[in-house]
Structure formats: C-alpha cells, structure tokens
Amino acid sequence: MNNAINETFTLPSLGQMYDTQFDARVTLRSMTTMEELQRNSSISDEYKVLCDVIEKCIINKEQIPVSVYDMCIGDFQYLLYMLRAVTWGSEYKMVCKCPNCNESVPFSVKLDEIEVHKYDEESYRKSASIELPVSKKKITLAYQTPKILDLIASKAKEMKIKQQKKGVTVLDYESLYTAMYFIDSIDGQHYDEFALEKFVRELNVKDFYEIIRKGNDLNRKVGLDNTVIAKCSNCGYDIVTPFRLTSEFFVPTLWW
C-alpha cells in the first residue's frame, strides 16, 4: 500500500552554493508513521534527527550530492517546511499578540506561499566579506549548516559540564562557538579550530557581535523569509511578527 503524496520543489540555493553544483529540484514524499516516530526520538543531535527524516522523504536523493545535514540553513529550513506542507498541508496556524490593542490574534500562514530568497552569487559574496569595526580584520564568513548547529550545541554543553565539575562560574559558550564557526578566513588565511577559538576569545566585543550579526544576515540571504504579517481581527492593525515553530507545525491540532 502506498498512500504517499509527492511534490517537487526547487532549493533556494539553486544548487549553486556547494562544492558540486547540481539540479536543485527535490521531490519530497509525505512522512510515514515510522518517520514520525524517528522525529520524536530523543537524542542530543536534534538537527541530525530532522535531517535524517527529510533525507528518507527525498525520492530523488541519488541526484543530490549534498546531504541535508551539510546543506546551508536556508535549504534545510525550506525542505523542512515543504515536508510539513506535503505531509499535513500548507496551512500553519499561529497566535501572536497585537502591539496596538494587546489582543491575542490567531491567524494562519500558507507555508508554500512564504517568500523565498534565492541565491544570487554576487550579492551573497558581497555579504560574506566584512571588515571588523575595531581590529579592521577582513573576515570571510561561512554559512551555517544543521551539522554546525549541532556541533555548536554539543561543544557548549561540553564546556558547561567542564565548568560545573571545576566549580567555577558557568559561562554560556554558545555565542562564542557561533561566532567561531561563522568564520571561514581571516585576512585571507584559514585557521584550525584551536586558533579560531583563540581569535574569537580575544576579540573586542564590538567585533565579536559584528561577526554574529553579519553571519545571521548571511544566513537570511538564502531561504525563506521568516517575517510574516497578520491583520488583527480586533483593531485591524497590521502585525509584523517572526515565524515561530510550535507543536502545531509538526502535528496540527486541526487533526485531533
């Protein structure tokens, strides 16, 4: 018995951001019970779980030379949203608070109608090259991947455990590792992880936050626009709000 629903989508990267370029058309089938059980499995690498589920639902994966775990965040997020649309339908219900009248406003978003920012090589390369405001170091930024986000979370957790064992003040290292993995090169030179961490630790804080800010901007250059607009049903105000993932995303209450 095959009750799968299949749909084909084009990755926001257009298949042009990777070492091997490829046809960016990806055909997804709807999730099965076993893939839902896998999604709900409790292991530490949460992005790895989602990527494995997406991989299983890609029908033409032999034509895609990059694993979902190694894709840019924009491609990963796009596939996740489209998989949800194929499985449950495009409508996604959200609730936000109106800043004008303070009412809680329910509204819905069509996942397959969210604006998509497609890769533009010239614009992307320009955004990936920055000069730090204090040190004047020239940084080439790298895009984040699901694998990198899991690595950042793992390293930050490891540091927290080490600090707790030593009985010292527990610092949250997640932002340090985030900045570190945003760096591809410094003044044209590539460095190992030890040297990169030392570089970030000694940065002027203004430079530190510039890397994170510009890195996040770079992530948003490719992929879905995460800003949505909802009209308040009480006062008519146009509410601009970030897209939020809730339990409604994976298992809509409409079906209960």
Residue 41 is predicted with a pLDDT of 81
Q: How buried is residue 116: exposed, middle or buried, by Cβ count under 10 Å (0-12/13-18/19+)?
A: middle
Tokens 């897209």 map to which residue? Answer: 243
CB-based contact 64:11 (threshold 8 Å): no
| Distance from C-alpha of 181 to C-alpha of 2, rounded to nearest angstrom | 42
Q: Provide the pLDDT for residue 3.
A: 75
**Residue 173 token pair:** 């290292």
The pLDDT of residue 223: 97
Tell me the whole-structure pTM to 2 decimals: 0.92
Q: Where are the domains of the chain?
A: 6-118+222-255, 121-219
Place of tokens 């997406």: 54
**Averaged in consecutive runs of 10 residues, what is the pLDDT profile of the chain (256 residues)?**
84 97 97 92 84 96 96 98 95 90 90 95 97 98 97 94 90 95 98 96 98 97 92 90 86 66
Non-local CB neighbours of 142 within 8 Å, separated by 6+ positions: 128, 181, 182, 183, 184
pLDDT score of 256: 41
> Which pLDDT score, from 0 to 100, does residue 56 have?
96
